[in-house]
Amino acid sequence: MMILHIGDKKISSWSMRAWLALKAAGAVFEEREHVFLDDREEQRRQWGKFSPTAQVPVLIDGETCVWDSLAICLYLDERFPEVWADDAAARAWSYSAAAEMHAGFTVLRSRCPFHTDKAETVSPDGALSAELSRLDTLWQEGLHRFGGGFLAGGRFTAVDAFYAPVVLRLHCYGLTEKMSAQAQAYIGRILADGYVREWCGK
């Protein structure tokens, strides 16, 4: 059985992405949750026992170790092709959108730290507003091009797993109303998703 090492579910958005992708793929796996320590040296020592980078998430599949959420989602494609969209164009778009999330939206991540129990209102400045605009455009593109309730079509796939923590950020920091009606409908679907609710302990 595969083992997924994750961080504290309340604050580890990258762990959430890998976990949701595994769930969406229908994979059977053992979950091992690790608490973030105040003593970072001790944390590196402990986490270094299972993670080459002493970070999470890490997927162990037999003798194979895969670290980083994007790498895990790409690896899962070899075992569970349904983790990404079936349509070739939708898959290509999904790879790009997931990579953009992986490398970008740094202002949103900095201004709105991930926490599933957060309830705070943030007033967007120019930089954050620009990222919200780009996010809205990206979501609308996926929803329009692939004709479903999710970013790459009619079902939850890895690209939705990548943006689910963003949905929670928008919800927890009072930013949902800054998005278009189409994006708000998508936010509602993600918040209602059974696996997202399970991650949040609901």
Domains, the chain, ordered by start: 2-82 (3.40.30.10), 85-199 (1.20.1050)
- The DSSP secondary-structure symbol of 86 reads S
Q: Give the three-class secondary structure for 65.
A: strand
Q: Name residue 4's beta-bridge partners.
A: 31, 59
Q: Looking up tokens 């690896």, which residue turns up?
A: 75
pLDDT tens digits, one per residue of 107-136: 999 999 999 998 899 999 999 999 999 999
**Rounded mean pLDDT for each run of 10 residues along the chain, 202 residues in total:** 98 98 96 96 96 98 97 95 96 98 97 93 96 99 97 98 98 97 98 98 84
pLDDT tens digits, one per residue of 93-110: 999 999 999 999 999 999
Residue 138, both tokens: 């990206």
Task: Return the closest-CA partner of residue 142 out of 159, 119, 118.
Answer: 159
pTM reported for the whole predicted model:
0.96
Task: Return the closest-CA partner of residue 69 out of 6, 157, 153, 150.
Answer: 6
Q: Which helix (H) or strand (E) holds 64?
A: strand 64-67
